[in-house]
Amino acid sequence: MSKAFAKVVTANALRSGRVVWLSESDGWTQDVLNAALFTDAEAAENALARAAANTAEVVGCYLADMRATESGPEPTHFREAFRRDGPSAAARIPTIGA
């Protein structure tokens, strides 16, 4: 039995470096639950090509495996869950006078 095709387009925002996902409106969202979920390989490849051409906003576009849930796309691989959840270490903010 083959696994159902379910992918999102993901990248990093050029200016901030943040993880972003392509939305239904071909914009970028920082919330994977608002990402467009593609169930057709050709549509996914076309969306990836459009996204990758947007070199003024994003870098490193690729298709990521997901599964459909009632609340939106859910990562199926550790890497994508890690990207969704953000950095594992708190930002170090220098304290003046400490």
How much is the pLDDT for 86?
79
Task: Determine the longest span between alpha carbons in the chain, in angstroms.
Answer: 63
The tokens for 71 are 């609340």
Would you place residue 44 in the very low, low, confident or very high pLDDT band (cuts 50, 70, 90)?
very high
- pLDDT tens digits, 7-25: 999 999 999 999 999 999 9
The pLDDT confidence band at residue 85, using thresholds 50, 70 and 90, is confident
CB 30 within 8 A of CB 23: no
| pLDDT at position 98 | 47
